[in-house]
Amino acid sequence: MAGIHELLKTMVESEASDLHITTGLAPQIRIDGAIRPLDHPRLMPNDTKQLCYSILTDAQKRVLEEENELDLSFGVKGLARFRGNIFVQRGAGPFLRG
């Protein structure tokens, strides 16, 4: 499974505006308003949690677990700065939109 930094790099290289991480689907990117799946296996609940948690601080993880939603920004050295929203849907694990 690709890590979040690899997925974000693919997003930037594809000139996509968004990356969507959703349980049960392959990661998707938005290009010119159209959502396109990446060549990647479908994500299981543990996969989405691992991808989302890999960019969070311990404090952000606590907020997400308490409120089931988190708005954040983060940078990937040498790539770009990103804004995102992570939310948890009951029984499906976390989702990342950013």
Per DSSP (E only), the strands in 38-98 are 69-76, 80-89, 93-97
- What's the pTM value of the predicted model, to 2 decimals? 0.84
> Residue 89's pLDDT is what?
74
> Residue 93's pLDDT is what?
58
Residue keyed to tokens 């409120």: 67
Domain positions in the chain are: 4-97
* pLDDT exceeds 70 at position 96: no
* pLDDT exceeds 80 at position 91: no
Residues 46-90 have pLDDT tens digits of 999 999 999 999 999 999 989 989 999 999 999 999 999 998 876
Residue keyed to tokens 């990117």: 29
> Residue 51's pLDDT is what?
92
**Torsion sign over Cα 37, 43, 45, 49:** negative
* Topology given in CATH for the domain delimited by 4-97: Beta-Lactamase (3.30.450)
Q: Are 41 and 48 in contact (CB under 8 A)?
A: no
> Residue 2's pLDDT is what?
81
Could you tell me the maximum CA-CA distance found in the chain, to the nearest angstrom? 36
Residues 5-53 have pLDDT tens digits of 999 999 999 999 999 999 999 999 999 999 999 999 999 989 999 999 9
